[in-house]
Every structure is written in C-alpha cells, then in structure tokens.
Structure 1
Amino acid sequence: MSTTDPAALAATIAAVLAATQSEPAPAPAPPTVLTVDEAADRLKVSRSLIYSQLRSGELRSVRLGRRRLIPAAEVDRIISEAA
C-alpha cells in the first residue's frame, strides 16, 4: 500500500474539478423585432413616417400575417446614421 501526500491529492482533485466545471457559453439572444408603434416610439416619430420609410425602402421590415415587424437593428442603424 502506498502513501500519498494529502495536500498533493487535494490539489489534483481541485485541478480536475476546475477543468471539468466550466460554465456553458450563454445562448445568443434572438433578434429583437419591434412593431410599427414601438419603432415610432423609439425614434420619436409618427407611425405615418415609419410607414413612409417602409414603402421607400429606407427601413427594412418583415411581414408576418398582417403585422409588420421591424428589426431593432434597423432602428439602431437609423439612430446611428442621424448622430
């Protein structure tokens, strides 16, 4: 029967536990979409201006049934272009 150093054994166990207990990477957040009203509120403009920009192609959107959804990244792009 061999004797081992308890401190060395504890250090080895701690190293193995630390190597195997890594936290999983957080899942990426799904892209956020806004309704026309939410986009208008965020940009502090009227709904009609949002619809005008959608028609002219200045603002991208996705149509889901009768709803028009605007990616939050599009609203952020307009804000950054204005600054």
Structure 2
Amino acid sequence: MKSAPTPLSPAQVDNTLSLLTVEEAARRLSIGRTVCYRLIASGELESLTLGGLRRVPADAIPEYVARRRQSHQTAAA
C-alpha cells in the first residue's frame, strides 16, 4: 500500500508552488505592471506561460532582488 504524501509546510508551498499574476509580482516589487512586463520580456524576471496566461513564480521575486542588489554592490565597489 502507498503511504500518503508528506504535506508541505506553508513556506515550501509558497516557494515551490505559488505562481503570481504579473500584477501581483509588480505589487510585490513596488513597480508598475508595464515595468514588470519589461523585466519579463528582457529575461530579468522569470515567468511561465500556462494556457496563455503569464505567471511569475513566487521565488523569482527574491532571486531578482538578490541579483539587483549584487549588481548594485558590484557597481559601487
């Protein structure tokens, strides 16, 4: 008999399964929707297309911010 899958913690669910709309991602970054689409188009912000809908993985937001911080620190040095 198969055992039931181990439930994910809320942190795991948020980081592995959460997909945001472009508008939600823009809100989290405190930027406009158009700027968010530009980041997606340039490849700076990861996104997926599911059934014709554009979604941003929740963990792509902190990754983008970390890259920006690193590039800013490198430029300042």
What is the root-mean-square deviation in Å for CA atoms of aligned residues?
Answer: 2.1
Question: Is 2:57 the partner of 1:71?
Answer: yes
Q: Give the equivalent residue in structure 2 for 1:60.
A: 46
Q: Give the equivalent residue in structure 1 for 2:72.
A: none
Q: 1:35 aligns with which of 13, 21, 24?
A: 21
TM-score by length of 1: 0.61
Q: Runs of 5+ in structure 1 lacking a partner?
A: 1-24
- Tell me the number of residue pairs that the alignment of Structure 1 and Structure 2 aligns: 60
- Identity within the alignment, %: 34
Question: Which residue type is aligned with residue 66 of structure 1?
Answer: G
Distance 1:27 1:64 in 2: 25
Classify the secondary structure of the residue corresponding to 2:59. helix
TM-score by length of 2: 0.65
